[in-house]
Amino acid sequence: MTLSVPNIRSCADCPIRYNAVCSKCEPDELKELEQIKYYRSYAAGQTIFFAGDPLETVGSVVSGVSSLTRTLPDGRVQMVGLLLPGDFLGRPNRDTIECDVVAETDVLLCCFRRKPFEKVIMETPHVGQRLLEMTLDELDAAREWMLVLGRKTAREKIASLLHMVATRMASLKPGSDNEAVFNLPITRETMANYLGLTIETVSRQMTALKKEGLIAFDERRDIRVPDLRALRAETGEDA
The residues spanned by each domain of the chain are 12-147, 153-233
Positions in the chain short of pLDDT 50: 1-5
Ramachandran angles phi, psi of 103, nearest 5°: -75, 110
- Non-local (6+) Cβ contacts of 66 within 8 A are 48, 82, 83, 89, 101, 102, 103, 104, 107
Q: What is the pLDDT of residue 176?
A: 60
Q: What is the DSSP letter of 5?
A: P
Query: Topology of domain 12-147, per CATH?
Result: Jelly Rolls (2.60.120)
What pLDDT does residue 75 have?
Answer: 86
CATH number of 153-233: 1.10.10.10
**For position 175, what pLDDT does the model report?**
58
pLDDT at residue 178 in the model: 82
- Nearest CA among 188, 187, 176 for reference residue 227: 176
Check residue 154 and give its pLDDT: 95
Instruction: Assign 141 to helix, strand or coil.
Output: helix
In this prediction, residue 233 carries a pLDDT of 94
